[in-house]
Amino acid sequence: MATKAKVKVGNPYHQHRERQRRRILDAAKEIFDERGIDRTTMAEIMAATGLRASTLYEYFSKKDDIVWAIFSDMIEEDSARAKIAVEGATTGLAKIMALLEHMADQLSNDSAKIRFMAQFDAMYARDWPVERLLTLEGQLNDIGFEGFKKLIREGIDDGSLRRGLDPDLTLHAVINAVIGAQRRLASLGTKVELEYGQSIDSLFKEMIRIVEFGLRAPAPSNKNGPAPRVKARKGSKGKRTL
């Protein structure tokens, strides 16, 4: 750790440093995807960037730092996109569906990123500070969980969403499931297609469709009628068997 010193933002040197940092991150990202995070050696990253060990370590003092940096960048980058994707929609169901569509897009067009996330989750989740957990979900902060839940409540009231949904539970359950499915498909990649004869894209979209049907209220035809007001079955909080 020679002189990390004070390099003021906007300085020529600082700019250069930023570019180098990006080069390293980009190269690493690619190698991680090809060989797997854990099997990637620093030597490979050095070769790919043309930097010497000593130089590389000026930027990242350990391999994990590179991994975390890539992860952070991805989160940030995605945050904006997710918000935009959801912006148009107005109802609760529509917003959720917009988000899911967005995730389908990611899966098709940015599968490397999803693969990375899958690896990251499995390997680093245990080290997470709890605040990071939300990842994609946390990215909705603009709309916010609360906003989302409110929309679900409205959706239930206006009859577009099934009665008996617990907004809190539903929201997390759906998003978690979809992220899980997305990452699994990305990880298994081509193998799924070979084995199932189904494209990743259509598998994911089918799942989305099923979820939509699962959330949507049964029949629009049905005019009110008190209909069993099913008490949202509160999740058995805190009482699990693990």
Partner DNA sequence: AGTTAATTCGTATTTACAGTACGAAATCGA
Partner DNA sequence: TCGATTTCGTACTGTAAATACGAATTAACT
Contacts of 107 (CB under 8 A, 6+ apart): 114, 182, 185, 186, 200, 201, 204
Contact 40, 28 (CB under 8 A): yes
CB of 67 to DNA, least distance (A): 10
> Which DSSP category does 132 fall into?
G
Nearer to DNA, 53 or 210 (CB): 53
CB of residue 188 to DNA, shortest distance in Å? 25
* 116-155 residues near a copy of itself, rule: CB under 8 A: 118-119, 121-123, 125-126, 128, 130, 133-134
d(CA 98, CA 88): 8
CA-nearest of 174, 139, 141 to 155 is: 174
CB of 89 to a copy of itself, least distance (A): 19
Between residue 214 and residue 233, which ones bind a copy of itself under the rule CB under 8 A? 214-215, 217-219, 222-223, 225-230
Residues 29-68 touching DNA, rule: CB under 7 A, are 40-43, 50-55, 57-59, 61-64
Within residues 96-115, the interface with DNA by CB under 7 A covers none
The secondary structure element, H or E, covering residue 19 is helix 12-35
Nearer to a copy of itself, 8 or 126 (CB): 126
Residue 33: CB minimum distance to a copy of itself, A: 10
Please report, as a single letter, which amino acid is at residue 47.
A
Q: State the Rg of the chain over Cα.
A: 22
Q: Which range, of 6-14, 23-31, 146-154, 192-200, touches a copy of itself by CB under 8 A?
A: 192-200
Residue 88 interaction partner, one of a copy of itself, DNA, none, beta carbon < 5-8 Å per kind = none
Q: Measured between alpha carbons, how far is 165 from 174 in angstroms, rounded to an integer?
A: 12
Question: Does 43 engage in binding with a copy of itself (CB under 8 A)?
Answer: no
CB of 122 to a copy of itself, least distance (A): 4
Dihedral pair phi/psi, residue 216, rounded to 5°: -65, 145
Nearer to a copy of itself, 11 or 36 (CB): 36
What are the residue ranges of helices labelled H in 110-188?
111-124, 144-157, 167-188
Closest CA to 188 of 102, 108, 115, 103: 115
Binding site for DNA (CB under 7 A): 1-3, 5-7, 10, 12-14, 16-17, 20, 40-43, 50-55, 57-59, 61-64
